[in-house]
Structure 1
Amino acid sequence: MADTPRSTPVSFSEFEAVTTTQWQERITRDLKGQDPAALSWLTPDGLTVEPFYHQEALQALGGAPTPLVRTAPTWRNVPTYSVPAGDRGHAAIDRAAAGLERGAEGAHFLLSNAGTFDVDYLHQKVSLNSAYVGYSMRSGLGELVKRLQELNLTPQGFFVLDPITCHAPDVPSQLTELRTALQTCQAWPAVSIVGINSAYYADRGATVTQQIAFALATAATYLSEIPREDITVEMVARALHLHVGINPNYFFEIAKLRAFRRLFATLLQAYGVPTAIAQELPIFASTSSWSQTTLDPHTNLLRVTTEAMSAVLGGATAVSVGRFDSLFHEPNEFAERLARNLPILLREEAYLDRVQDPAAGSYYLETLTDQLAHQAWILFQKIEAQGGLPGATGLVLQELHASAQAQFRRIANAEQVVVGTNKFQNPNEQFDYNPKRLLRSREFDSTRATYPTEVLRLATAMHFDRRERKRKRSALVLLGAHTNQHILESFLRTLPAAERPELREAHPDGTLSVLFSSAEEATLMYATPEQYGRLARAINHIPIDEPNFIPSALLTADLPTMQEAIRVFGFQEFTVQGYSTEDVLARLQGKK
């Protein structure tokens, strides 16, 4: 149109171009004798991040890579709702229906038992011909698809079964179930039936490189194992759907999604499938439970904000933001509303959907994407060399365990900062939940990064609680496997170097760490799993040989009984010569 203003070329000709060498000289001068290499950051993935990147970075990549192109105008805002085992899901469905009326653009159901989920009720509350709905489950895919088919629908959304990632004991039968569902879903072009649950790894401490490699290995398994005479590799490729978990490492999470799409295209090329399918791959990104905390929980709101931003800037097609209080509160409208509105703010007020690939051309992000893709491909090849998945599951779990334990140690030593938990704590924090009840709950997520630190804080809060003092009872709190080592490392860092050496050998690996609390004292102890199990049975009056008993993380009894049980079952005290137990606790909580 004639009145449309024309764009003016942007030019900064008045400024002279600065070369990489000139930047390096300026950095060296500003550091006043310090080694510039000290500014480089060695990441848990083994990558070295430089203090700055310049145009030569793109030249090293052979020029700027082709930008990603979204296949939809924007991403969907898809909250997640959990449905417990034995529950038909009516409460979750009601919340999902209300969310769709208030800004959500879909719903994702985590089904403990897909066979009992009331699809008819769902369709009454939500039009499944128009609503975008996802279902994640460990079994029951065939039955769920059959019941949806009986409703004569043309649904849209996705299913995630993923027996490979979830280590299902009956992989062959579930692959058969996936084939049948895939054939059924050919009549549902807007449904992705073959889901990869990469969030499983993100929620258990995997590095970014590991998440990409493990997801790629899973995709390779499905591309190899699902096809039959009537199911082509291309059909499987077009039916794939990726569910990823997003953590707070902002730039790495952006690069993670971009690197996976790039490697997925390479994988498709190896199978003789059009690589353009990689651009169309639906990616459902949910904020990760791994990074959530029970301490200073409102910081979770800040974490999920950066996580959601990483997801949409990285190219996710749907985003699910978790509740900030999901670890210790039942679902509630306040927390759900905040979570639901966050993606809306990113679109409607931050305009993050106005650019196809915001990371395209960034010296740093393009380099990071390339490095992650390179490292992940090496790990993927290592998995394939062992026969691929599920045969190489042992290798995958070994890698996952090592990375999670390393992260536990970094958090315990405050090398990795978790705001409000191991740094910048709120000394006057008042819990709006019952720590004792939370520790006893089997639903309390013990797989998170901050769990060992949290349990110590919660347990000591219980110890100093006046009500416990009045009752004159004692408590034994299970801090978790390997936690004693993390506690020891944390405490050793508070001591002069000369006092540390022999302490490290004094505490064996492979034990559980516990906190023994009475009204007068708190003692850190450790025991083998067998010792703890036998003591728990004695305290709960369960026969010692009862095989189906699951010990609670919190045991309480009168003080004489607990003291006698600890003596009989042989728990060892966490002793540090010259320091009282109160001293240890005070130091660990930053009070000294």
Structure 2
Amino acid sequence: MSEPLPAPPVAFTEFPALTTAAWQARLARDLKGQDPAVLRWPLPGGPVLEPFYHREALDALGGPPAPLPFPARPWQNVPALPVPAGTDGHFEIERAVTSLAHGAEGVHFELATASAFDADYLAQRLPLGATFVGYTVAEGPDELLARLAAAAPGVALRGFLCFAPLLGPEGGTPPQYAGALRYCVALAQTWPDFRALAVNAAYFGNAGATGGQQLAYGLSTAAALLATLPDAATPLAAVTGALHWHVAVGPSYFPELAKLRALRRLWPTLLHAYGLPPAAAATLRVHAATATWTQTTLDPHTNLLRATTEAMSAVLGGADSLSVGTFDSLYAVPNEFSGRLARNLSLVLREEAHFGAVQDPAAGSYFVETLTDELARAAWALFQQTEAAGGLPEARPLVLEAVHATATATFQRIAAGKQVVVGTNRFENRAERFAFNPKKLLRSAAFDTTRATYPSEVLRLATALHFERRERKTRQAALVLLGAGVNRHIENSFWQSLPALERPELAASHPDGTLSFLFSSPEEATLMYATPEQFQRFARFLYRIPVERQMFMAPVLLSSDLATLQEALRVFGFQEMRVQGYTTEEVLARLQGR
């Protein structure tokens, strides 16, 4: 059998070069005369992306940028393991052992109560000198690190520590934590593969911040740490060497990829401002995690698809380590099935898609290089504005207000259908059978109400709860707190279906500053509203909580016998949301597309 003839080499020079004008003419022809500008894509709070990019885009950047200093090795697959409050972590440590035996290269313990975590048991079950382990704590970072060092004497730990107090990320918190953080830096100085300080930009990302805000406020967090922690015993170089970044990655593929690349461009600029050499920036480590902000309760298997594109953006953007969230974390207890899927997602990207085989694969792309540059410029400008306002923690109220405004705008876009969430506000599974009990989920204190889709979800869950109660014909009634954001969701979703004359009436029935409720009895469901103060007094009355008890968090779901709840609603003055000519159930049916 004869050998096949070798294929002639192919070079791009063999193809005729096309000018930008030629591309524009082709676009105009394909668009049948429409202006290609109609294809522009404005990012929320960020740049406007053009329909196409050509070689002139790199000329505008001063020529092709140099490839970014990506990790020397492929990213580490580091599953996150939440450890509930008050538990010793034995269950999660055993899960870590299983994960490490089945493809994980590290683990990330998210500790609700660091003081209860059994560091000795961890050291017995895992070789800490050879295992990459991350720890996120809300209190006592110095105490935890000291116990870990005592549990493995003489061992150089690997991994990271992220201190995430309730008030905000490191650097955005009051200075009382400075001593604890300095202790962590000093203790970890002899551990070259451990980062004891985190720039927790994920704190902002999971609250609804844009990519530019996440970068800008992360830089402000880092600046606060670099400005406040160094002292006679803790040099600036030691603080810098202890820093690493935590970033939340959303499903918008190219912007999220460019966000991580922009971070690596901005980091040397910040360190230069503190007189540090470029070599100090070259050791930057970035830990990425799939965003909790974008997870959904409805049609939850779509979370697997979101996690896939989020993980791809993270690793192509240059993350050093990656935590992929489980698709059912919003309603299910940790389990091996969803944990294995999350762990294997990262393995498929590396072992089968070979994403770790190329350094900075987006380098030279007209589009991605331009987007990287625009995100970096926008983030740096916002960072400078924040620093001019006093920096963190002084500017913290302004920062949180800006993030809240961004999140509110997202809620409104989702409610109006302008931002698609597959399975929640578009392409819904109308025959969905929930894998959880809506009543228990709404009552659970652990149910995450801060996510982008919560206003849409809680209305669906509350309605499902009503129809279930109606079918059972129980004499119980329930009041489900839908929240302030659902006012806008109802208004935006139902607005276009009303005659113009009735729209002012709908707006009047949703006063600003009020909370929405669904009152559900066996016979009917009624949308209502009240002030937050009314709801607190109502909940205290219903559950007999004395006024003297200052700390009381009213649950999302209140239930009682029908007569008591009806009388309480009358006494406390909750108002029905009335729309002329439509019953509440008709409104609910329209909102759910039924």
1:338 aligned partner: 341
Q: 1:388 aligns with which of 381, 391, 403?
A: 391
Distance of 2:411 and 2:286 partners within structure 1: 28
Q: Which has the larger displacement, 173-182 or 370-379?
A: 173-182
Q: Which residue of 1 aligns with 2:126?
A: 126
For the pair 1:245 / 2:248, whether they are aligned, the reply is: yes
Partner residue of 1:154 out of 128, 153, 156 = 156
Deviation at 1:587, TM superposition (A): 0.6
1:32-47 aligned within 5 A: 32-47=32-47
Shift of 1:171: 3.0
Report the equivalent of 1:66: 66
**CA displacement 1:177-209 (0-9 Å, x = unmatched):** 111221111111111111111111111100011
| Distance in structure 2 (CA, Å) of the matches to 1:270 and 1:23 | 42
Contact 2:171 2:224 in 1 (8 A): no
Give the conservation status (yes or no) of the 8 Å contact 1:80–1:322: yes
Selected match of 2:416 from 413, 418, 440: 413
User: Residue 305 of structure 1 corresponds to which residue in structure 2?
Assistant: 308
Match for 2:303: what amino acid? N
Select 2:481's aligned residue among 469, 478, 481.
Answer: 478
Whether 2:289 is the aligned partner of 1:286: answer yes
CA contact (8 A) 2:170 2:198 kept: no
**Does residue 1:88 correspond to 2:91, yes or no?**
no
Indicate if the aligned counterparts of 2:331 and 2:441 stay in contact, CA closer than 8 A.
Answer: yes
Distance 2:8 2:340 in 1: 42
C-alpha separation between the residues in 2 aligned to 1:255 and 1:162? 26
Structure 1 segment 450-461 matched on structure 2, within 5 A: 450-461=453-464
Distance 1:217 1:473, change over 3 A: same
Q: Spell out the pairing of 1:142-181 with structure 2 (5 A cutoff).
A: 142-150=142-150, 151-152=152-153, 153-161=155-163, 165-166=168-169, 171-181=174-184
* Root-mean-square deviation over aligned CA pairs: 1.8
Tell me by how many angstroms 1:112 deviates. 1.4
Instruction: Write out per-residue CA displacement over residues 221-241 of structure 1, whole angstroms, 9 at most, x where no aligned residue.
Output: 111111112322222111101
- What is the DSSP-based 3-state SS (H/G/I as helix, E as strand, rest coil) of the residue aligned with 1:276? helix
Match of 1:97 in 2: 97
Equivalent residue in structure 2 for 1:295, among 288, 298, 317: 298
Match for residue 194 of structure 2? 191
Distance in 2 (alpha carbons) for counterparts of 1:68 and 1:169: 28
Q: 1:330 to 1:59 in 2, by over 3 A?
A: same
The answer as to whether partners of 1:162 and 1:194 remain within 8 angstroms in 2 is: no
**Could you report, residue by residue, the CA deviation over 1:481-529 in whole angstroms, capped at 9, with x for unpaired residues?**
2321221111103334454245324421111111111112111111111
Q: Which residue of structure 2 aligns with residue 369 of structure 1?
A: 372
Q: Secondary structure at the match of 1:64?
A: coil
The one-letter amino acid paired with 2:126 is V
Matched, 1:540 2:546: no
Q: Counterparts in 2 of 1:183-582, with a 5 A limit? A: 183-465=186-468, 469-497=472-500, 499-582=502-585
Which sits farther off after the overlay, 448-457 or 168-177? 168-177
Whether the 8 Å CA contact 2:79–2:108 is kept in 1: the answer is yes
Match in the other structure for 2:3: none
Alpha-carbon contact 1:114-1:140 (below 8 Å) kept: yes
Deviates more, 1:159-168 or 1:564-573: 159-168
Q: Aligned partners of 1:356, 1:58: CA distance in 2, in Å?
A: 20
CA offsets per residue over residues 463-496 of structure 1, 9 Å max, x none?
1115763213211100122321221111103334
8 Å CA contact 1:491–1:584 kept in 2: the answer is yes
Partner of 1:16: 16
Structure 2 gaps, min length 5: 1-5
Which digits, 9 at most, give the CA deviation of each residue in 1:5-47, with x for residues without a partner? x998641444321111111122222222333221111221231
What does the per-residue CA deviation read over 1:297-338, in whole Å, with 9 as the maximum and x for residues that have no partner?
Answer: 000000000001010000000000011000000001100000
Q: CA deviation at 1:579?
A: 1.4
- 3-state SS of 2:218 partner: helix
Distance across 1 between alignment mates of 2:430 and 2:471 = 21
Distance 2:524 2:506 in 1: 22
Distance 1:158 1:285 in 2: 13
Distance in 1 between residues matched to 2:170 and 2:232, nearest whole Å: 27
The residue type equivalent to 2:450 in the other structure is: T
CA gap of 1:502–1:520, structure 2 versus 1, over 3 A, is closer
Bigger drift between 354-363 and 559-568 goes to 559-568
Aligned pairs, number: 586
SS in 1 for 2:122: helix
User: Conserved in 1, the CA contact under 8 Å of 2:171 and 2:393?
Assistant: no
* Deviation per residue, 1:418-443 (Å, 9 max, x gap): 00000000010001110000000000
Change (3 A) 1:480 1:111: same
Q: Kindly indicate whether the alpha-carbon contact (under 8 Å) linking 1:113 and 1:140 is maintained by their aligned counterparts in 2.
A: no
Residue matched to 1:590: 593
Distance 2:40 2:241 in 1: 41
The answer to whether the 8 Å contact 1:138/1:166 transfers is no
The residue number in structure 2 matching 1:139 is 139
Partners of 1:262 and 1:278 within 8 A in 2: no
Q: Structure 1's 552 and 190: CA in aligned 2 closer, same or farther, altered over 3 A?
A: same
Give, as a single letter, the amino acid of the residue that structure 2 aligns with 1:372.
L
Q: Secondary structure at the match of 2:355?
A: coil
Residue 263 of structure 1 deviates from its aligned partner by 0.8
Letter in 1 for 2:307: V
Take 2:455 and 2:517, find their aligned partners in 1: how far apart are those partners?
A: 11
TM score, norm. by length of structure 1: 0.96
Distance 2:519 2:536 in 1: 15
Give a deviation string over 1:104-163, Cα, whole Å, max 9, x none.
100101111222211110011111010000111122111112122222111111111156
Deviates more, 1:390-399 or 1:7-16: 7-16
Partner of 2:359, secondary structure, is coil
| 5+ long unaligned stretches in structure 1 | 1-5
Aligned-residue offset at 1:65? 0.9
Alpha-carbon separation, structure 2, partners of 1:497 and 1:8: 68
Bigger shift: residues 463-472 or 153-162: 463-472
Q: Which amino acid aligns with 1:361?
A: G
Question: Counterpart of 2:158 in structure 1: which amino acid?
Answer: Q
Q: Distance in 1 between matches of 2:472 and 2:173?
A: 51
Greater alpha carbon shift after TM alignment, 463-472 vs 215-224: 463-472
**8 A Cα contact 1:462 1:468, kept in partner:** no
Residues 434-443 or 163-172, more deviating: 163-172
Partner of 1:3: none
Q: Which amino acid aligns with 1:543?
A: P
